[in-house]
Amino acid sequence: MTSEVLAESAVVVGATAPDQGSAIDLVGSILVAQGSRDAAEIHRTLTAPDDDAPAANGHPARSDEVTLEIRITNPAGLHARPAAIVVDRARSFAAELAIQSNGKRANARSITALLGLGAAVGDEVRIVARGSDARSAADAIAAILTGSTEV
């Protein structure tokens, strides 16, 4: 996207209520152009109230949120097999789980999103879990990514 489109979106976002729908569409288009493909994630990003925003953007973390920052030591990195195991393990928890790496964020229940991170051995990742079992969920995902044996 060009800087003119980004500048235009800033003007539109400050517009009156009838113009807000257009602003949301435009900002959504910008997010897609920057690599975000998950429509639900784009919707959450655009409509999240300040107290529900992810901790990584400067807002305080929620009380049911756990964030772990780790370095991938699994010899396979976050490629097909370990990503499939992460997805399977994530689905066993009620907590919302996301993994952030290389400036991207992925839903841990989506193998396509995880593979899109391009995370490899040695990369720093952030695991963000929200919900009643957030600590267990984050620890389980971290164990996969820091495992010492290839999966």
Residue with the two structure tokens 């820091």: 146
Q: Show the tokens assigned to 19.
A: 């113009």
Catalytic residue among 44, 59, 62, 79: 79
SS3 104: strand
Sequence-ordered list of residues with C-beta below 8 angstroms from that of 95, at least 6 positions apart, any chain: 129, 130, 131, 132, 133, 134, 136, 137, 138
79 catalytic? Reply is yes
Please say whether the beta carbons of 65 and 100 come within 8 A.
no
- Please identify every residue annotated as catalytic: 79
